[in-house]
Amino acid sequence: MMMTAAVPVVVAAIMGRALWFQHISTSTNSPTASVKAAAPLNTLHSRMSLLWGVLSQVLSWANLCQLLQMVGAGLVAVAVVWMVRLLLRHTWYTYKLSCFSKPHADSWLIGHLGQMQSTEEGLLQVDNLVQTHKHSCSWFLGPFYHLVRVFHPDFVKPLLMAPASITVKDDLIYAHLRPWLGQSLLISNGEEWSRRRRLLNPAFHFDVLKNYVTMFNTSANIMHDKWRHLVAEGLTTIEMFDHVSLMTLDSLLKCAFSYNSNCQESTSDYVSAIVELSDLVIDRRHNILHHWDWIYWKTQQGRRFKKALSIVHRFTREVIQKHRAVISQQMKTETQSDFTTTPQKKKDFADIILLSKDEDGKGLTDEEILAEANTFMFAGHDTTASAICWILYNLACHAHYQEKCREEVVDLMQGRDEHKIEWEDLCNLPFTTMCIRESLRLHSPVQAVTRKYTQDVALPGGRTVPQGAICLVSLYGTHHNPAVWTNPHEFNPMRFDPTNKEARASHAFIPFSSGPRNCIGQKFALAELRVVVALTLLRFRLTPGVNPGTCQGGVRRLPLLVLRAEGGLWLQLETLNTTSLEDPQD
């Protein structure tokens, strides 16, 4: 009642102010203004009366209660419809996935929610799953997500080799990357994806990759100089991820944008923002409430994400704009065909994607280029850093393999004035490459990829993945499946001896995934891995280290966006006396 009584007073006050304001403003314009103002005043008055009529109807206590009741009933109806749909969908998928064995679930509704852990125990749980279920199983996270988990080459193959036209990157893993990466190659689907892939493939051609080997050498040299100084100061145990991640970011910035960030020597806002975004994406994935945008953007993490995002996007946009300006300047002085085809021109990723054109002569828009540049940085730096760290760790744990690799590199460098790995050297490191492959199997940087399909996909044994179900292809599970690999937890580079190749199923080793949506950057990554590992072994002897914070040895794996180690991966370094071979400028 008090409210209905107060409303006329407020409205009257507003009307009074409006009339007074109208009067003042019109009367100051001319002497006859008050006469002219009479008509509009009348109109205003009648409008305000109408408004008041409506308001008093709406705001009368009885009507307000009725309105609230209607809204409440509407909301309940929507919630009921949503829940019924969810349960029907859940029942349908439970039935459709009954052809797959199902590990113990907490209840028919909760399913396996909360059972997946991004910890060492989570990985051990996958080992058990693989032991028990051999090739695949079904899995559901409440009534929300229905998964088929596969970890055997015969099951992996039909899924990864399915045509890109029926393959969809699902929201479970990729949705949270969208604000950062946009509708880029990694996330897009169908025709949009295939156009982008065609336009971006030239950026990873051998002729282009050759130019990057110099950047890999330079970035590795900077990291090794830092290590030498630390060792000289008595700090011989070093956390690998801190150093190697900065090194891969440094080299990727040089290759992608010809940008010298000096991020290995001093802090960079851009680099810190990339690291922050990677951490926040993982955080968000683990908190199911944060999966809803309208909740997430209001949280503290959501606000941090937005802040880091604006730094990253501003940086990429500026770099791309500068490249565009340079290219158009260069094209003024020579014909475009000269510019795009001259092989000796050192082009970076940004140049190539700015210049690429489809069959209709159309290139990527600025937004598309921005998305791809961000994607290269995201997909390229952490993965490669994780791979390098685990390779060095595995070699540290296996001194005899480390020595064998070192001998190979020392032989290669014989008679050279400087320690530089050239593009042509990469195929002359066969044993080192076997160790790299074995490490990618044992400690695959990416643990799993997920897919959905727009039609049913047939799997061995008469099983079918129904359209719309999420397929979680476990790279980790496949690489540790005892039905595929003997002693799967043992580091044994001889598995990759070329003479053993026939014994292996075609999809047993898939660190870069496989099929149409495989990793576009794998040749780039393999080249960088070989350069960095070879130079490291030439300059340092590695042994497993002890975390100085906890004084504990032993490593607990941490499967986040890429495979890391809890508390870091600590290695002990001994500088080798190879200075006679070193370039004094290094």
Return binding residues for heme: 519
352 touches ligand HEM (CB under 6 A): no
String marking each residue 367-406 x if it binds ligand HEM according to CB under 6 A? --------xx--xx--xx--x-------------------
Chain positions 196 to 235 lying near ligand HEM, rule: CB under 6 A, are 197
> Which residue shows structure tokens 């944060």?
290
Token pair listed for 457: 């996909």
147, 156, 185, 459: residue in contact with ligand HEM (rule CB under 6 A): 185
Q: Which stretch binds ligand HEM (CB under 6 A): 106-114, 441-449, 461-469, 544-552?
A: 441-449
List of E strands, 455-579? 457-459, 463-465, 470-474, 540-544, 557-559, 563-565, 570-575
Q: Is 335 in contact with 290 (CB distance < 8 Å)?
A: no
180 binds ligand HEM (CB under 6 A): no
Which residues are CB-contacts of 386 (< 8 A; sequence separation ≥ 6)?
Answer: 241, 443, 445, 562, 563, 564
Interface residue with ligand HEM, options 100, 180, 496, 512 (CB under 6 A)? 512
Nearer to ligand HEM, 209 or 273 (CB): 209
Q: How many residues bind ligand HEM (CB under 6 A)?
A: 22
- Residue count of the chain: 586
Q: Is the dihedral of CA 542, 548, 552, 557 positive or negative?
A: negative
Q: Which is nearer to ligand HEM, 136 or 384 (CB)?
A: 384
Residue 521 as a binder of ligand HEM (CB under 6 A): the answer is yes
Integer Cα distance of 49 and 535 in angstroms:
84
Closer by beta carbon to ligand HEM, 96 or else 517: 517
Judged by CB under 6 A, which of 452, 479, 517, 530 binds ligand HEM?
517
Residues 105 and 111 sit within 8 Å (Cβ to Cβ):
yes
Q: What is the smallest separation between the CB atom of 187 and ligand HEM, expressed in angstroms?
A: 8
Annotated binding site: 519
The residue from 258, 261, 513, 536 that contacts ligand HEM (CB under 6 A) is 513
Give the 3-state secondary structure of 188-211.
CCHHHHHHHHHHHHHHHCHHHHHH
CB closer to ligand HEM, 474 vs 492? 474
Stretch that binds ligand HEM, among 399-407, 507-515, 533-541, 548-556 (CB under 6 A): 507-515
**Comparison of 90 and 348: residue with beta carbon closer to ligand HEM:** 348
If one asks whether residue 514 binds ligand HEM (CB under 6 A), the answer comes out as no
Q: What is the DSSP string of 559-585?
A: ESSSEEETT--EEEEEE---GGGS-TT
Question: Which one, of 510, 438, 446, lies nearest residue 478 by Cα?
Answer: 510
Provide the 3-class DSSP secondary structure of residue 465: strand
What secondary structure does DSSP assign to 390-432, as a single string?
HHHHHHHH-HHHHHHHHHHHHHHHTT-SS----GGGGGG-HHH
Query: CA separation (Å) from 208 to 340, 346, 358, 423, 523?
Result: 12, 8, 19, 11, 11
449 is an interface residue for ligand HEM by CB under 6 A = yes
Query: Which range in 104-112, 361-369, 520-528, 531-539 contacts ligand HEM by CB under 6 A?
Result: 520-528
**Residue 215: CB minimum distance to ligand HEM, A:** 12
Q: Which residues bind ligand HEM (CB under 6 A)?
A: 185-186, 197, 375-376, 379-380, 383-384, 387, 445-446, 449, 511-513, 517, 519-521, 524-525
